[in-house]
Amino acid sequence: MQFDSLDDIRTFCRDLPAANRRFADIAAHCQQNLTKPPGSLGRLEDLAIWLAQWQGREQPRLDRVTVAVFAGNHGVAARGVSAYPPAVTAQMVANFTAGGAAINQIARLAGAELLIVPIELERPTRDFTEAAAMDTDEFLGAVDEGCRTVPDDCDLLAVGEMGIANTTAAALLCTALLGGDAARWAGRGTGIDDGGLTRKRAAIDAALNFHRGILDDPLAVAAALGGRELAAMAGAVLAARQRGIPVLLDGFVATSAVLPLARLDAGALDHCRAGHVSAESGHRDLLRELGLQPLLDLDMRLGEASGAGVAILLIRAALACHAGMATFAEAGVASADG
């Protein structure tokens, strides 16, 4: 799968691969016969059906689960919008590689392989307050990086990111594509102080003004106002859609990264679930705009796919029940009003 132009992406999003209703029906019917009151496993039941219909399998499976963490650097970091210096992006990539970060521990617990994908860290995007963050070729290159990261035979994909200053890019995408002012979407990210928050909002206002001519084009916005790791996450989510791989989105940045796809087609994220709602202030609102109900609400705001990684555990619980429970007939249990 490769997108050679923005129009290629638009074409894909006009004719998206659909879920397999037959396998959804089979999974739903299976759930009805398991030894529990109908519906009593709540969202765990929905998750089993979701796996079946997107994997296109009568028996969904989670043999290969992949966590992909994309990393990028941002020109806007020079404007003092983060509590951490830009060098931390590469330092954290080294930490991921060495196994010392939260996502390493979470992925191991969840039985997931962890793919770390730094994208041209030595070449930050341009400062979007005064230029396009990426031109079309740079954007497509990052999208392609995301596409190529997704293994063909993966059963579930969790996507996340690392990139100092990238909550500024994420908030900018939300402001550009969903409206409201910078204050609606810009939060404290890794924990900036009041001065940093003021600079962050000013950067967003400046970027919106500079790019005001392109705001009605979601992909032009994704290129000019986004970031490489955000573009890569969008690419990974598109590749997963093509390959029948259900996706868990991580937090505010990951969700913002796929917002342009949802603006192209409201069904573009139907194969995705929100792993969690983060403590970053705009995330709950963004999920509501996208009609995504988060699986977890643990006040996390770390990024690096940590929330989606924890949510893998819930998907495993859903599948364990779906695949392992006895039916009423097998167990000799009377069903309701029996």
Please check whether residue 292 is in contact with residue 274, taking contact to mean a CB–CB distance below 8 angstroms.
yes
Angle at the Cα of 219 from the Cα atoms of 164 and 260, rounded to 5 degrees: 70
CA 131/CA 225 separation, integer angstroms: 9
The residue from 95, 149, 168, 175 that contacts its own copies (CB under 8 A) is: 95
Please check whether residue 72 is in contact with residue 229, taking contact to mean a CB–CB distance below 8 angstroms.
yes
The residue (of 109 and 266) whose beta carbon lies closer to its own copies is: 109
Torsion of CA 51, 55, 60, 62, to 10 degrees: -80
- Does 37 help bind its own copies (rule: CB under 8 A)? yes
Q: Does the annotation mark 330 as catalytic?
A: no
Radius of gyration of the chain (CA): 20
For its own copies, what does the binding mask look like between residues 107 and 126, x meaning CB under 8 A? -xx-----------------
The residue from 1, 102, 214, 215 that contacts its own copies (CB under 8 A) is: 102
Contacts (Cβ under 8 Å, ≥6 apart) of 203: 76, 79, 81, 128, 129, 168, 172
Joined together, the tokens standing for residue 79 give 């404007």
Total site size for its own copies, rule CB under 8 A: 62
The residue (of 38 and 180) whose beta carbon lies closer to its own copies is: 38
CA 266/CA 270 separation, integer angstroms: 8
- Does 336 help bind its own copies (rule: CB under 8 A)? yes
The residue (of 76 and 310) whose beta carbon lies closer to its own copies is: 310
- Does 197 help bind its own copies (rule: CB under 8 A)? no
Stretch that binds its own copies, among 4-12, 210-218, 227-235, 305-313 (CB under 8 A): 305-313
Stretch that binds its own copies, among 91-99, 199-207, 216-224, 261-269 (CB under 8 A): 91-99
- Does 101 help bind its own copies (rule: CB under 8 A)? yes
- Does 190 help bind its own copies (rule: CB under 8 A)? yes
Comparing CA positions, the residue from 281, 240, 277, 271 lying closest to residue 255 is: 277
DSSP state for residue 74 in the 8-state scheme: B
Orientation angle between helical segments 306-324 and 43-55, nearest 10 degrees: 90
- Does 253 help bind its own copies (rule: CB under 8 A)? no
Give the active site residues: 304
The site for its own copies (CB under 8 A) is made up of 34-44, 83-85, 87-88, 91-92, 94-95, 98-102, 104-106, 108-109, 190-191, 279, 295-302, 306, 310, 313-314, 316-317, 320-321, 323-326, 330-338
